[in-house]
Amino acid sequence: MKKVLFAVLAVSLLVVAGCVKTVPVTVKNGLGDWKITAVYMYPVTQVSRGENMITADLVPDSTAALRVLPGNYNILVIDEDNDCYTYNNVSITSDGYNLEVKLDDLNSSNYNVGTGHYPLTVTNGLADYDIWYVYVDPVGTEPTTEYMGSGILFTDETITIWLEPGTYVVKAVDDSDASFTYDSVQVTESGAKLTVNEADIDTPRPAEEPASVTVVNGLAKTVSYLYIDKSDEPWGDDRLGASVLAPGDTFVVDITTGTWDMKAQDEDGNTYTLWGQDITPEGYTWTVTADQMD
């Protein structure tokens, strides 16, 4: 009888203690020239990403041997340029899991930055503008900590800033220098989400006014194509149409005030580009010269 009782007790203790063992997860750096600086693995039901599971940078072609309990995980990998690679709802079985991080897995529409555990996800909800800067600091201070770095947040793209729970001031600045400030953003253990919308602009944008650009061909070659378009839009139609611009000639394009990009192409196919020129109601004269060749 005692043996039976001991056997039952032993089984009970194993169940209580949890006899499920961790399993191996191998992460390989297949990024070529970039080191992996962080690997986070956390259950899909968990908001916190936990701790960085590698203690040293993972150089190209090397591997890290990690261990987790079987289950479904989100895996977030970050390289030395703060580019991220996300693998959501990965099923890790009792056989373990092998992951090779490749450049094809780059999540270019979402940046992951910050050193905290809980996500503040900021989405660019502006239809006509890109976001160049995102500042986040605790409420009561000026938002001066910038998280975008050299990145650009295009329409509908997101940046996830990992923070600790608290109340924050968030300021976004778009490519026209317009700002959007949110004075009291609550980041909880459930995270937080924020969409930057045009209605939240700090100062209304000035109304567009008629303006013009005078293009002077300062080249020794004929300009065959001319493009003048707003900086937040792709290149449009050739402004010259069936015409060309001979050396020394001028051509006037009627536009509106704002920030514009300009590109000329000569008869040999060489291009000359002027980026981000602010146009006032007084207009602007662009002289295309050889030292502006792309």
Q: Please give the angle made by the CA atoms of 172, 177 and 180, to the nearest 5 degrees.
A: 30
Q: Is the dihedral of CA 223, 229, 235, 237 positive or negative?
A: negative
- Torsion, Cα 10 14 15 19, to 10 degrees, reads -160
The CATH number given to 111-200 is 2.60.40
Residue 291 CB partners (closer than 8 Å, separation 6+)? none
Average pLDDT, the chain: 91
- What digits encode the pLDDT tens for the residues 191-245? 999 999 999 999 998 888 999 999 999 999 999 999 999 987 899 999 999 999 9
The CATH number given to 210-292 is 2.60.40.2890
Q: pLDDT below 70 — which residues of the chain?
A: 1-20
Q: Which helix (H) or strand (E) holds 258?
A: strand 258-266
Indicate the SS3 state at residue 278.
Answer: strand
CA distances from 262 to 26, 235, 258, 281 (A): 50, 9, 13, 17
Is the pTM here over 0.75, yes or no? no
Domain span(s) for CATH 2.60.40.2890 in the chain = 22-106, 210-292
Q: Which CATH superfamily groups domain 22-106?
A: Domain of unknown function DUF5300 (2.60.40.2890)
DSSP string, 223-255: EEEEEEEETTS-----TTTT--B-TT-EEEEEE
- Give the integer Cα–Cα distance in Å for 28 and 66: 11
What residues pair up with 277 in beta bridges, in sequence order?
260
- Give the integer Cα–Cα distance in Å for 124 and 115: 22
